[in-house]
Structure 1
Amino acid sequence: MTPELKNKIIAVCDQKIAQKGDNVGLSFYAFFANKNDNPVLLMEAATWWIATHQFDHFEKAAKIKALVQTE
């Protein structure tokens, strides 16, 4: 995982947890704007989320953050 994606995931998880609490779920789309402005990073996130970890569409932000911090 690139440092850019890792930092983005952690920041978004922190933001979502602060807004909605520890039990908030998110999908990998939460890391991107509604438009596809960085297709390479989007594909990296999708590959990590779907192919590498086989996560469901929504996962707990705290779980994702903890996993990313250990990689």
Structure 2
Amino acid sequence: MNTVLKAKIIEVCDKKIAAKGDQVGISFYAFFKNKNDNPELLMEAATWWIQTNKLDHFEKALKIKNLVLGITTK
């Protein structure tokens, strides 16, 4: 995953967690505007989310942030 996408995911997760707590859910669409202005980055996020990690549509923001940072939790 490229550094721009990693930074965006962490930023969005941090904002969501700060606003709604560490149980807040998120989907990969949260990292993009309502426009498809960067289809390559959107596909990279979708591939990472769906194919690489086999995540559900909504996951905990804290889980996503930890995956991006390489932190494993049980």
Bin for the TM-score computed over the shorter chain: over 0.9
Say what the alpha-carbon RMSD is for the aligned residues. Answer: 1.0
Letter in 2 for 1:11: E
Residue 40 of structure 2 aligns to a residue in which SS?
A: helix
- Normalised by the length of structure 2, the TM-score is 0.93
Matched, 1:68 2:68: yes
May I ask how many residue pairs the two structures share in their alignment? 71
Alpha-carbon separation, structure 2, partners of 1:2 and 1:70: 14
2-side partners of 1:20 and 1:49: how far apart? Answer: 22
Q: Percent same amino acid among aligned pairs?
A: 72
Paired residues for 1:17-32 under 5 Å: 17-32=17-32
Question: TM-score of the superposition, structure 1-length normalised?
Answer: 0.96
Q: Could you list the structure 1 runs, at least 4 aligned residues long, displaced by more than 4 angstroms after superposition.
A: none
Corresponding residue of 2:48:
48
Alpha-carbon distance in structure 2 between the residues aligned to 1:38 and 1:25: 23
Question: Where does the alignment leave 5 or more consecutive residues of structure 2 unmatched?
Answer: none
Q: Which runs of 5+ in 1 are unaligned?
A: none
